[in-house]
Amino acid sequence: MMTCKEIVNKLDEYIVGQYKAKRAVSIALRNRYRRSQLPKSVSDEIMPKNIILKGPTGVGKTEIARRLAKLVNAPFVKVEATKYTEVGYVGRDVESMVRDLVEASIRVVKSEQVQKVRDKALHLVNKKIKDILYPLKKQLKPEEMDTETFKNQFEASFDGGLFDKDIIEVEVNEQPKPFNILEGGAGEINIGQIVGGVFKGNRKTKKMSVERAREILIEEECDRLIDQDNVNKEAIHRAEQEGIIFIDEIDKIAAKKVQGQDVSREGVQRDILPIVEGCVVNTKYGSIHTDHILFIAAGAFHIASVSDLIPELQGRFPIIVELDNLDKDDFVKILKLQTGLINQYEQMLKVDNIDLKFTDDAIEKIGELAKLENETQENLGARRLQTILENLLEDISFNASNENPLVEVVIDKVFVESTLTSAFKSHDFKKFVL
């Protein structure tokens, strides 16, 4: 398990600034490890210190929580508080966020188990496909070639992927199409899952490529090799002990006065309260205790404030961290990240033989424009960079084609200013408006 400083250093690779928020979540994550090393009689009494991240959109609230979960491969779900309604109203019930977490945990655990048995499944599936393919290829064997030589040639061609595009007939499980009834007062009902057992075991012969057949049959073989009961049991445990639920837009259900629709908002808070405090939620995989799930809530809190939440809920989020607004230097650093937008555009356009290169002064100019746009219009944080880069590279993206030879395209300050002329002129005009 990483130390707090190591966690922050890892988060720095994906998120610029926001040191206070990174520090808070790193301590919360490290405390889980500390708790796991204690006797059960002691660890059961230690509850997670839930966090509220307060700040405008696009400054990294969601990304901090998502990256934190990825660092330790923890089950993670992001939900919007506005999607929930008080019991008795039409909308999702708050317990569905816990069920979603269990589903996420099932995927995490199953993925780990699949990796353990994949080699064995691949060996069994290749043998099955060879048994189908060999008789078909044998019919085309030259008369002068002996069987042993043909067999060796077949094996070599199969292993080299030369038959991957060949069409074969295979028997696969018939999957029922799911039919979802959403937003009901009782949560979500998936008819496909309810009647899935009726169709289980039904096989259907289909024509497909060897490559596609291998993918489907490996998935089926892995399902047979994995003990699903153990997966469910481990997933429940993982969700209870390591799960992270990120509740976004929590400020939207905060209200200063209880009147009209505000009654429902306060009702949602009271429904969320037992989930955060610790209760038992029934899922189709078994019961899950929510006592040790880490809850990270977030909101802009432009109109409402944290103190407008009901006192009981505030008490369950003892750590409140205010995130900083992004300035020009932050935008420049974000653009230069290894996982940043510039790198993404360079990699994508390379597919169409465009060798895209940004000069430092161009990146500085883009950062300046992002800051100006956020100040004079709605503050979108780092998301503003996506709009600017899309407008900047629209013509290049549209005209690019892999049929053309490799071309180097340099984006400099002059190109940025000439391409985004209207945006800069708009800001030049606004400085004269009182």
Is pLDDT above 60 for 90? no
DSSP alpha helix (H) spans, 139-209: 147-159, 191-194, 196-199
Residue 236 has pLDDT above 90, yes or no: yes
CA-wise closest residue to 177 among 165, 187, 198, 191: 191
pLDDT at position 101 is: 92
Residue 277 has pLDDT above 80, yes or no: yes
d(CA 97, CA 102): 9
CATH code for 4-103+235-322?
3.40.50.300
Beta bridge partners of 80: 248
The residues near 229 (Cβ < 8 Å, ≥ 6 apart) are: none
Least confident span in 60-74, 348-362, 414-428:
414-428
Query: Do strands 167-173 and 203-209 pair parallel, antiparallel, or not at all (unpaired)?
Result: antiparallel
* Three-class secondary structure of residue 302 per DSSP: coil
The total of other beta-carbon atoms located within 10 Å of residue 229's CB is 10
Residues of the chain with CATH 3.40.50.300: 4-103+235-322
The correct CATH number of 328-421 out of 2.10.60.10, 1.10.8.60, 3.60.40.10, 3.30.470.20 is 1.10.8.60
Residue, of 265 and 261, whose pLDDT is higher: 265
Q: Mean pLDDT, to the nearest integer, of 349-364?
A: 88
Residues of the chain with CATH 1.10.8.60: 328-421
> Which amino acid, 206?
K
Helix (H, G, I), strand (E, B) or coil at 146: coil
Residues 6+ apart with CB under 8 A from 371: 326, 327, 328, 331
* Amino acid 185: pLDDT: 40
Q: Please give the helix or strand (H or E) that residue 211 lies within, else none.
A: helix 210-225
Mean pLDDT score, 293-308: 86
R_g over Cα of the chain: 28
Residue 157 CA: distances (Å) to CA of 95, 130, 269: 53, 11, 63
Cβ proximity of 60 and 13 under 8 Å: no
Task: Examine the pLDDT at 310 and tell me if it is beyond 60.
Answer: yes
